[in-house]
Structure 1
């Protein structure tokens, strides 16, 4: 038991353990930062798509019924 305790209290073992914990924390922090950046990117893409959709809706809403039918007749068979 005392040999195990002596090994755990060895300064080299403690240093290696601290280095592993530090490395694990750095990896975790980088992972979280990457996930946050990706979420932000996707939010910006959704916002841009929503703005384009709103612009199209406004353009279609500004057309008269006759103009709308004329444009839609190109797409209907």
Structure 2
């Protein structure tokens, strides 16, 4: 009798193998769900950051060149 034949013909080993496979599938699926949630969270954070960048660029675009230079001069290190 071959090893595969023994494994298939033995119901106890077949049940154990099925349980192991079920646990592995659940673990992999859980990891995928976690990765999807993490990606969605990261995308939301990036969208928020882009909104802030757009707002700042809009504010700077509304300033005159002299105002921009004055702000930059205040913020640079001596």
- Alignment gaps of 5+ in structure 2: none
Measured against aligned partners, the alpha-carbon deviations of 1:4-46 in whole angstroms (never above 9, x if no partner) come to: 7345312111111111111110001001111111111111111
TM-score w.r.t. the length of structure 2 is 0.83
Residue-pair matches, total: 77
| Stretch deviating more after TM superposition (39-48 or 3-12) | 3-12
Comparing 15-24 and 62-71, the one that deviates more: 62-71
1:2 is displaced (CA, Å) by 6.6
Tell me by how many angstroms 1:66 deviates.
Answer: 2.1
In structure 2, the partner of 1:25 is: 25
**2:16 corresponding residue in structure 1:** 16
Aligned-pair Cα RMSD in Å: 2.0
TM superposition score normalised by structure 1:
0.84
